[in-house]
Amino acid sequence: MSSSVVAAIISATNFAAIKHKDQKRKDPEGTPYINHPVGVAYILTEAGIDDVEVIQGAILHDTVEDTDTTLDEIEAEFGKAVRDIVDEVTDDKDLEKLERKRLQIVHAKNASEKAKLVKLADKLYNLRDLERTIPRGWTEERKLEYFFWSAKVILGCRGTNKDIEDLLDEVLERNGVKDPKNVELAENEKKE
């Protein structure tokens, strides 16, 4: 790996660490938030993904949605390709939560391959974390709903990376999603 590649990845990691410095995950331990984007990037590298822009996108994927970072700032620091990945995986926080979740399902099938990779790794990290422990304030019912909703988002990303998709299917099946490759979408989840 060239020094410029290492520098690019470390630069994105440092940027995300600064932006997420005061944030914690919702698990009972209050895990530092930065563990999540680093873990998403790690999942991608374990699946053989070595595209620097994808790895940077994974590390930065929650900065715009969950901090004061702007897409223009991402582009100025990391370029248009990384900005585009982050943009594709960022929810519009001005919308109601249920609408944001519905749009994740709708938009998944039309996302770029690079954004789909980040989405798949993000879902795998979150589902594994949810298997490990329930976030503060969540019920078993909400946990189960998250697994089924995730299966619907993943459906639109299928055909992107078999290794990650196989791992996702194992987690989903262990948690009550009987046939994740053929999960049924509601009518309002098929179109914008």
Task: Report, as residue numbers or ranges, the catalytic residues.
Answer: 65-66
Other C-beta atoms lying within 10 Å of the C-beta of residue 81: 17
- Spatial distance between the Cα atoms of 91 and 119, rounded to a whole number of angstroms: 12
CB 122 within 8 A of CB 61: yes
Question: What are the angstrom distances between the C-alpha of 95 and each of 37, 66, 103?
Answer: 23, 14, 10
Between CA 55 and CA 11 the distance in angstroms is 11
Amino acid identity at 44: L
Could you identify the residue written with the tokens 């900065």? 63
CA-wise closest residue to 55 among 74, 71, 36, 42: 42
Of all residues in the chain, what percent are helix, strand and coil, respectively (each to 5)? Answer: 65, 0, 35
